[in-house]
């Protein structure tokens, strides 16, 4: 069994995720496949290693022993992969694709560190999440960072960081908005293909706000266009507002050049995701980049 570390890796993932279903999502295989691999280990060792509980899983004594051994093996393999990368020393360009908010306002700070991790050039492409996933499927990019999980077969999706959408303006506005306050602003909106717009519309509908009654003075195609439009909007008269990821305007909020607000008693959140091909789930370069991204605090 030691020659087939994939099954031990499945076992380690089940233990670390404390769940068969979460391990399935992380590994990009079906839950029955996870169960089958754990059963193979138990049949091979002729002992029970994992017990399922209502609130997760519990290791047997033999399972705890196996976990210690498998952890040592995993560490040795990871160290060996690092040495292999030094030997291979491929000269290639690692291409990352990302949606607008991530690519323009989060990822640039980490490109240098990612380059050091894989010892190769890193390029970045920015587009809508759906377009980035299409590029991933067409093998035009190596890894994708997206704002919405557009699920396709053959792709592994990993939850990355939590994002919050806020209403913002270049004029001071109440920090906690009642739903009737939303009709008192002029609005600049994202185009209909934007995940931000779709999510915001769903939230407004849920709380009983009619977006069709807003005074919309413009529709733009990107996060940067939204930010620039609000930043340079007139500061007299009705506030002009829009909705954007808080990551996009964090510096301006701190410097008091833009002002943020939230709907009273409501928080609009979403997850950013890392996505990559199932075919490359054991690729050392992908592993290095994914593990680095999961380790950073955005």
pLDDT tens by residue, 158-216: 989 899 999 999 999 999 999 999 999 999 998 887 888 888 988 999 989 988 899 99
Equal fold, 5-88 vs 163-269: no
Mean pLDDT on 259-279:
92
What are the extents of the domains in the chain? 5-88, 93-162+271-295, 163-269
Is the per-residue pLDDT at 15 higher than 60? yes
Q: What's the mean pLDDT when you consider all of the chain?
A: 88
Please give the backbone phi and psi of residue 51, each rounded to the nearest 5 degrees, phi first: -115, 130
pTM for the predicted model, two decimal places: 0.69
Q: Pick the residue with more confidence: 2 or 46?
A: 46
Output 231 or 151, whichever has higher pLDDT. 231
Tell me if 55 sits within 8 A of 22, measured CB to CB. Answer: no
Among 3.30.2130.30, 1.10.472.10, 1.10.540.10, 1.10.10.10, name the CATH number for the domain at 5-88.
Answer: 1.10.10.10
Look at residue 268 in the predicted model and tell me its pLDDT: 92
Note the pLDDT of residue 77.
75
Tokens of 63: 């399972």
Classify domain 163-269 by CATH architecture: 3-Layer(aba) Sandwich (3.40)
Is the predicted pLDDT of residue 97 greater than 70, yes or no?
yes
- CB 272 within 8 Å of CB 161: yes
* 54-66 core/surface letters (b: 16 or more CB in 10 A; e: else): eeebebeeebeeb
pLDDT for the residue numbered 211: 87
Residue 81 is predicted with a pLDDT of 65
Q: Are 133 and 150 in contact (CB under 8 A)?
A: yes
Instruction: Return the pLDDT at 59.
Output: 92
Q: Which helix (H) or strand (E) holds 56?
A: strand 56-59
2 pLDDT exceeds 70? no
Q: Which CATH number fits domain 93-162+271-295: 3.40.50.2300, 3.40.30.10, 2.40.50.140, 3.40.190.10?
A: 3.40.190.10
| Residue bearing the bigger pLDDT, 73 or 84 | 73
């Amino acid at each position: 069994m030691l020659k087939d570390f994939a099954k031990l890796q499945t076992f380690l993932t089940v233990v670390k995720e404390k769940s068969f279903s979460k391990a399935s999502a992380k590994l990009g295989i079906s839950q029955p496949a996870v169960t089958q691999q754990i059963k193979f280990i138990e049949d091979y060792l002729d002992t029970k290693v994992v017990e399922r509980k209502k609130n997760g899983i519990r290791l047997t004594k033999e399972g705890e022993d196996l976990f210690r051994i498998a952890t040592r093996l995993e560490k040795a393999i990871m160290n060996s992969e690092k040495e292999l990368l030094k030997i291979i020393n491929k000269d290639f360009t690692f291409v990352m694709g990302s949606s607008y908010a991530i690519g323009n306002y989060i990822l640039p700070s980490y490109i240098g560190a990612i380059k050091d991790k894989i010892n190769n050039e890193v390029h970045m492409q920015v587009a809508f999440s759906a377009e980035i996933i299409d590029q991933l499927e067409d093998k035009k990019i190596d890894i994708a960072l997206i704002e919405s999980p557009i699920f396709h077969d053959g792709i592994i999706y990993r939850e990355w960081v939590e994002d919050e959408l806020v209403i913002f303006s270049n004029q001071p506005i109440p920090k906690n908005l009642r739903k009737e306050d939303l009709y008192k602003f002029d609005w600049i909106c994202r185009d209909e293909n934007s995940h931000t717009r779709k999510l915001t519309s769903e939230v407004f509908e849920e709380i009983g706000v009619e977006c069709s009654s807003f005074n919309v003075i413009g529709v733009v195609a990107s996060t940067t266009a939204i930010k620039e439009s609000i930043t340079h909007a007139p500061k007299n008269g009705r506030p002009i507002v829009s909705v954007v990821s808080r990551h996009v305007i964090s510096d301006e909020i701190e410097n008091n050049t833009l002002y943020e607000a939230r709907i009273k008693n409501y928080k609009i959140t979403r997850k950013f995701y890392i996505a990559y091909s199932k075919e490359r789930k054991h690729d050392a370069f992908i592993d290095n980049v994914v593990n680095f991204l999961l380790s950073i605090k955005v």
